């Protein structure tokens, strides 16, 4: 998997000093990655992001920010940081991430989040494990402040513990296991016993295991890849990119909105011309697709998310 350069490296050093990092056999940490779907690069209204961290039962509304940053690129990537426990390795931590649009993020709470986006989470550490936590500051939550125990999702307030999507990173002893296979922390190789994924669309969760694809139930999703890094063997020296194409049935409303997903497969860029005129490419690294020309976004579906916890780019073959 590709590691993205942190846009908040200097600020992370301050956070690491603030939270005591105890010695252990393997690190106990949460890697927070922050994104937005609001135009922020070269946007004079964009005033940056403030991140607040503390015990889950503390009042983060009145704390000083652990860090602030005005960084944001054209793909909506704001940055990432690592959080470690200040006490017990299974303690719960509270997070408040605020984007200021038209005013500084530190002033948003005072003004009831007018023109701002706030995301709150309550997350429990997993001892001796690294967990990934993605937070997207969504435009449909602009001005929706909620209270300290709730966060905005799709424009409405939801309990902070109900929206956490934590992903365990793969075991370093199995470098060939590159495909994320569900919320249970399983990673599978791209050949042999590959990812056999069971989706609970109502609960918005996935669970997987590495199996021979012939033994994967017909109701499951078979993933041979989850981003471009699994398909580099198909890239060519003319600039064609090996792509991890999502196999899906489109919804009646839009060709690029899947009603159901059957799997994923690596293909050369030239091979996409047989996929109608539109397609979706998985991008679990959250890096842009097609050499940086397509934005990686959260998965969505109609009426339920057919692949929760995964991310993809839309590409239009006719314009390539």
Selection from 135-144, 153-162, 284-293 with the highest mean pLDDT: 135-144
Q: What is the pLDDT of residue 177?
A: 57
Residue 2: pLDDT band by 50, 70, 90 thresholds?
very low
CA-to-CA distance for 266 and 264, rounded, in angstroms?
7
Whether 101 shows a pLDDT value over 70: the answer reads yes
Strands of the sheet with 311-316, listed across from one edge: 205-211, 194-200, 221-223, 258-267, 243-250, 278-282, 311-316, 297-298
Q: 54-69 burial, b for 16+ CB within 10 Å, e for fewer?
A: bebeeebeeeebbbbb
Residue 162: pLDDT band by 50, 70, 90 thresholds?
low
* Region of poorest pLDDT, from 17-26, 64-73, 210-219, 268-277: 17-26
**Nearest residue to 134 (alpha-carbon basis) of 317, 294, 297, 300:** 297
Global confidence as pTM: 0.54
CA-to-CA distance for 312 and 305, rounded, in angstroms?
13
CB-count exposure of residue 230 (10 Å: 0-12, 13-18, 19+)? buried
How many helices and strands in the chain, by DSSP H and E?
Answer: 1, 20
What are the tens digits of pLDDT across the range 243-262? 899 988 887 777 677 888 99
Q: Which residues pair with 64 in a beta bridge?
A: none
């Amino acid at each position: 998997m590709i590691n993205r350069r942190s846009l908040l490296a200097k600020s992370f050093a301050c956070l690491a000093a603030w939270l005591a990092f105890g010695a252990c056999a393997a690190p106990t940490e949460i890697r927070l990655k922050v994104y937005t779907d609001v135009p922020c690069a070269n946007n004079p209204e964009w005033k940056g992001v403030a991140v607040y961290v503390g015990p889950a039962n503390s009042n983060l509304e009145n704390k000083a920010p652990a860090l602030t940053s005005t960084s944001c690129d054209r793909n909506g990537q704001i940055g990432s940081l690592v959080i470690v426990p200040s006490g017990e390795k299974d303690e719960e931590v509270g997070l408040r991430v605020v984007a200021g649009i038209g005013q500084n993020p530190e002033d948003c709470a005072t003004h009831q989040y007018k023109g701002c986006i706030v995301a709150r989470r309550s997350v429990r550490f997993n001892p001796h494990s690294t967990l990934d936590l993605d937070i997207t500051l969504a435009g449909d939550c602009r001005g929706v402040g909620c209270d300290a125990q709730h966060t905005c999702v799709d424009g409405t307030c939801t309990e902070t513990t109900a929206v956490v999507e934590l992903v365990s990173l793969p075991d370093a002893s199995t470098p060939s296991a590159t495909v994320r296979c569900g919320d249970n922390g399983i990673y599978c190789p791209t050949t042999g016993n590959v990812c056999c994924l069971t989706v609970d669309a109502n609960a918005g969760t996935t669970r997987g295991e590495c199996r021979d694809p012939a033994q994967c139930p017909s109701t499951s999703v078979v993933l041979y890849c989850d981003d471009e890094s699994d398909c580099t063997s198909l890239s060519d020296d003319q600039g064609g990119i090996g792509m991890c194409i999502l196999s899906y049935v489109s919804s009646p409303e839009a060709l690029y909105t899947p009603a159901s997903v059957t799997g994923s497969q690596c293909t050369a860029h030239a091979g996409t011309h047989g996929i109608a005129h539109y397609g979706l490419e998985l991008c679990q690294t959250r890096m842009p697709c097609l050499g940086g020309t397509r934005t990686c976004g959260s998965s969505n579906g109609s009426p339920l998310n057919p692949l929760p916890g995964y991310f993809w780019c839309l590409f239009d073959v006719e314009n390539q």
